Structures are given as structure tokens and as C-alpha cells.
Structure 1
Amino acid sequence: MPLNIFQDTDGLPRIILTERNGSSAQVLQYGGQVVSWKNERKEELLFMSSKANWKQPKAIKGGISICFPQFGNVGSLEQYGSKNRLWSLDPDPSPLPPSENQSSVDLILKSTYEDLKTWQRSFELRLRITLSAGKLILIPRIRNTDNKPLSFTFALCNYLSVSDISEVRVEGLETLDYFDNLMNRTRFTEQADAITFDGEMNRIYLHTPTKIAIIDHEKKRTFVLRKNGMPDAVVWNPWDKKAKALSDLGDEDYKTMICLDSAAIETPIILKPCEEWRGHQELSTVSSSYCSGQLDPCKVLYGFH
């Protein structure tokens, strides 16, 4: 399926992916960021801040973005460096499996002279984004093109659109250890049977399962996140006070968003020269079914293949 690429009103190259059932996705070459994912009913599934800054070189708050070579501010490395770069179409992507009902784009980001001055490491970061009926798949690959070991942390930051954050449940993280970023990364063990929201949350869950469910009671819709190669998961919502303090987030935006990241944070990934790391993330939506307010976990966490 040929790529539809155009310049939007902000001058950013934008790639449109469509599939025959009517769903669509939009990807910016700036940041390699997915800024829209709509289902076959044209409903937007991703959250985008009402005050998102679309002017370079600022990162755009919302959608799905890549955090590399680090998650958070560490030393002299630029926070979320891959978000602030213009990616290229990959001239030599790996072959796609045959399918008539999907649309894909392959992007690549290579280290620059400026990167080498700051990080003194060279790399190639590739990203394949594939849209099919009811699914959005992201496959990041990082190759060490240096003659020294390459160490990094990584995250796919997923801003998902929900009807009301106070009615949302996240299932699949119960009993796990997590770092609480609101308490200087103190380590705790999750005691609740599901994650619910009644205030600011910023946690890094460790050794998470390959499937996590985000249940939106009001919309009777569940996001299912499947991931490999990224053992951690970040759960974030700023709530009201933090939302008002963030210049690129609307005061009321926190009510209709949840950020659930696929990540490798606790243990950095280390690549030998010429070695490559590969991750995999699949987002899908299913209709929720309830019994006393509980999602049937057999249907969502285990029953979908």
C-alpha cells in the first residue's frame, strides 16, 4: 500500500496510514511520533494535549512517542532525545510479512555529529509502524554502530484517550513491585487488585507481564497492550495540580488521558558493537464485558491471540 505523505500546516512531514476497514493512523517524521489512531468508526483512540506545542524543536505531548537514549534527565544527555529529531524514511527496511489488509511505514534515526559530541556513541534507531484492523503495532530496533558498548534505557510513551480517568482500571500489574517517582523512586509492592486513579500517579512497574489491560468503564472499551523486550511499564497521570503547572497540558486534560508506557528502565539495555536490540508493542481495543464492575480477565488478558 503506497504511503500518503504531506506537509501539515505546521510544516511537519506527516504520513497517513489507512486500512480497508476504515481505521487510520498519522505519523510525524519529526520525532517518529504517532499523533493519531482512529478506529473504523473514526473515533480517536490516542490522547493529544489541547496545548500541545507543534513547533520544532519542542516535543509534542500526546500520541505515541519514543524515549531514547534515556528515560528522564541523567547527566548531560538530552531528555527524550529521539523526540526532538527529524527522522527519515528507512531506505532499507526488513521485509514485511505478506498481508493485503495492513499499512506500514519504516523510519530511521541515525546518530549525528552533535550526538557524538554529547554521548560519544553512534547508533541506528529504526521504527516500523503497522496499522491493521483493530491493531496498531510498533517495532523499534536499535543497532550499535560504534566500536564500544552501547548502554541505554528506552520507552514507548502511549497517551491513550479515556472518557474519565477516575473510572479507569488498569489490570495486569497487581502484586508487582514498582518505583514511585512521587517519592524519590521508593520501591513498593502493589497491593490493589487493579490500578485506579484518584490523584497524581507516576510509577514504574517492574517485571511486568506481556499483556496489560486498560479498562474504560464509561466507554465500555478496553485497550489491550501487548509488549516484548520492554519488561517495565510506566503509569502516569498528572491530576489537577500538576496539569495546571505544565505549560503544554490543558488544565482539564488529565481527566481524559492515561499514559501507559512500554519501557526498559530498571536494567539498561547494553549492546556490543554491531549488536541489535528489538522491541515489540501491539495496541488493540476490545469491547469490555462486566460482572460486578470487573472485567472478565480470561477474555482480555488471556483469551486474545
Structure 2
Amino acid sequence: MSEETKYVELCKGINGLDKIILREVRGCSAEVYLYGGHVTSWKNEHGEELLFVSSKAIFKPPKAIRGGIPICFPQFSNLGSLEPHGFARTRFWSIDNDPPPFPTNSSNKAFIDLILKHSEEDVKIWPHRYEFRLRITLGPGGDLMLTSRIRNTNTDGKSFTFTFAYHTYFHVTDISHMFVLSSEVRVEGLETLDYLDNLKNRERFTEQGDAIVFESEVDKVYLRTPTKIAVLDHERKRTFELRKDGLPDAVVWNPWDKKAKTIPDLGDDEYKHMLCVEAACVEKPITLKPGEEWRGRQELSAVPSSYCSGQLNPESAILSEDIGPA
């Protein structure tokens, strides 16, 4: 990258929406829309797209962008009175020019600080005041890091409770193709864990497979998950590594063929090339008293890999702890 190339560039995206492009010296990049505080692209040094965004995604308020990394706050799914997945992903965020110190590597140059605060309209549907600070960092090696800090700024003495997820859409090889013995796309690190099945009224089950493979619709919330989860893509010989802090759950979702056809901003066959594996806090909502702050972090890496990593035995992995208010 030349001296003139910017690590951080503010420009216009689809439909004139403001976006930030993050670039690193080896050629990797990421794009972030201020609408939704939404990461819509993450490319490696070869220019290969690592995130899925639907060809039918609607980059126009008030519709959320289909794909990338939507921010689900203050509600995950439809588990409350708000719109599904909350309102943070359909609000315009601002660049935070004076953020408090973040516990991140100070040598990183490709990062942006965003902030979302309550509006009077939002207070009508969710009667709380908050500050949500989000730092998005592209590391020199191409790792993508999202760090969230949410503070209760209520002046009436009231606590508030929320659920949260980084709704990450990974771009994968055709997930519907099966080998004789195993799937081309699989998730490791969630074996033997309990999960809530959203397709069966959130009934609780225990995962039985050696790894999670895909041959039909899946919508599960895995509980007390390791800090590290892997998504293996055999055809591309690539493994996505997801590392997380403060987010004890992990959501795995793919709508499959029938559900995909009911989603207006998703192509009928696009489910084959997407897989959502989401760092989340769903089972036990977070409660903050006035002045308290919660932090949650997700770091993504894409590394060359052979088919089976064999390194993510959940019995030996460190379990994610429930991180409470700071």
C-alpha cells in the first residue's frame, strides 16, 4: 500500500449512504455503513469476499441490510416487544470523534469508532437512555474485530435489560452439497452443548453430532459456548475462526430452500452460500444499572486449512464466562 493510500476513508455507498472503507497494508479491506453501524464487506489480501450480502439487499431505510454483520440490540429475534432484532441495525450511527480508551491494540491504524444514542422517537418504544459505542478494527493480518460498549445513561434511576448478537453472515461454498461422509461446510466447537431450537418453540436439546453439518433449515441458540468457534469450508480450504468475549451464546442459522423463498430481500438460492454463526447473549439477558457499562467483543479470522481442524474439542476449550457490567 502506498503512502498516499488511506487506512480509513469516508465515502458514499449504495443509494448515497455514507460508508467507511478500512484498508490494511497487505491489501485486505472492510466496509462499514453508518446506517446500522453495519459491516457489509470483509475481504482478504487476495480481494476475496468473506462475508455474504444478498444480491437483493435493500440499502434504504427503514429496511435493515440483508447480510454482512447486523448489530442486534436491544433485542435479539422477536423475544420482546420491539421489532425483530431490535432497532440498532436500522438507525443512523455517528462517527465518534472523542471515544474513551478502548482495550485494543494501539498499533492498529485501520479502525473506526461509531456511536449510537437514544432518540426521543426510540424512547417512545424502548423507554431508556443509552450510549452504544462500537469500534470496528481491521488488523494488519486481516482480522476483523468488533468491540461494543453499551452504557445505561438513564437519569431516572432505572435499570434496563437487553439481549444482543453480532449477526454475522459468512460467505461459504454451496452449503447444500454433501460428501459421502461429511458436509463441505461444517461448524466445530459446539459439539455436546445444549441449545435452544427456535424451530421447536425454543425447546432445549443437547447437540449429538461430532460437528454441525447442514442438510435442512437450522435456527439454534447454543448455550455456554467456547470462546472460539470454527466454520470449516472444505472446497475453499478455508476456516473462519470466531473468537468472542462477553457473549456466552452462539446462534447458528440458515433458512434453507423453503424459508429462503419467503424472505423478500434474499434470492431463492442464496441460502446455499451463506451461514450465520453469531456471537450472542440471548439466554440470560444483560441488565445495567444507571452508569454501568457492558462490553462484548468478536474477532474474526480467515485462515487456510485442511478439512478437519481437530483442535476445537469443546471439553478442552475454555468456556466463555458470563461477563457482567463493568
| 1:66 counterpart residue number | 71
Task: Give the SS at the match of 1:10.
Answer: helix
Is residue 155 of structure 1 aligned with residue 165 of structure 2? yes
Q: 1:257 to 1:2 in 2, by over 3 A?
A: closer
| 1:242 counterpart residue number | 259
**Contact residue 20 and residue 101 of structure 1 kept, 8 A:** no
What letter is aligned with 2:58?
Answer: N
Name which of structure 1's ranges 160-169 and 178-187 shifts more when overlaid on structure 2.
Answer: 160-169
Task: Give the SS at the match of 2:272.
Answer: helix
Distance 1:212 1:9 in 2: 32
Is residue 37 of structure 1 aligned with residue 45 of structure 2? no
Residue deviations 1:265-299 (CA, integer Å, cap 9, x gap) = 00000011100000111000111124xxx323269
| 2:174 counterpart residue number | 164
| 1:296 counterpart residue number | 310
| 1:212 counterpart residue number | 229
TM-score (norm 1): 0.94
TM-score (norm 2): 0.88
What letter is aligned with 1:145?
Answer: T
> Equivalent of 1:111, from 115, 118, 121?
118
Distance 1:60 1:122 in 2: 25
**Contact residue 169 and residue 216 of structure 1 kept, 8 A:** yes
Gapped runs of 5+ residues in structure 1?
none
Residue deviations 1:172-224 (CA, integer Å, cap 9, x gap) = 00010001111111110001010000000000000000000000000000000
Task: Give the SS at the match of 1:116.
Answer: helix
Distance 2:70 2:195 in 1: 22
**Contact residue 289 and residue 296 of structure 1 kept, 8 A:** no
Distance 1:76 1:252 in 2: 32
| 2:206 counterpart residue number | 189
Distance 1:159 1:225 in 2: 12
Deviation at 1:101, TM superposition (A): 5.0
Structure number having the greater strand percentage: 1
Deviation at 1:264, TM superposition (A): 0.3
- 1:23-102 correspondence runs (5 A): 23-79=28-84, 80-95=86-101, 99-102=106-109
Deviation at 1:21, TM superposition (A): 0.7
Deviation at 1:100, TM superposition (A): 4.6
| 2:27 counterpart residue number | 22
**Contact residue 36 and residue 93 of structure 2 kept, 8 A:** yes
| 2:247 counterpart residue number | 230
Distance 1:32 1:184 in 2: 31
Query: Where in structure 1 do 4 or more consecutive aligned residues deviate above 3 Å?
Result: 95-102
**Contact residue 158 and residue 290 of structure 2 kept, 8 A:** yes
**Contact residue 7 and residue 24 of structure 2 kept, 8 A:** no
> Equivalent of 2:138, from 131, 138, 141?
131
Distance 1:248 1:298 in 2: 35
| 1:11 counterpart residue number | 16
Task: Give the SS at the match of 1:193.
Answer: coil
Gapped runs of 5+ residues in structure 2?
1-5, 177-183, 318-326
Distance 2:256 2:311 in 1: 27
> Equivalent of 1:266, from 240, 258, 283?
283
Q: 1:240 to 1:185 in 2, by over 3 A?
A: same
Percent identity over the alignment? 60
Give the length in aligned residue pairs.
298
Distance 1:9 1:246 in 2: 21
Q: 1:198 to 1:87 in 2, by over 3 A?
A: same
**Contact residue 206 and residue 231 of structure 1 kept, 8 A:** yes
| Cα-Cα RMSD | 1.7
Deviation at 1:11, TM superposition (A): 1.5
| 2:180 counterpart residue number | none
What letter is aligned with 1:3?
Answer: V
What letter is aligned with 1:159?
Answer: Y
What letter is aligned with 1:107?
Answer: L
**Contact residue 234 and residue 306 of structure 2 kept, 8 A:** no
Is residue 198 of structure 1 aligned with residue 208 of structure 2? no
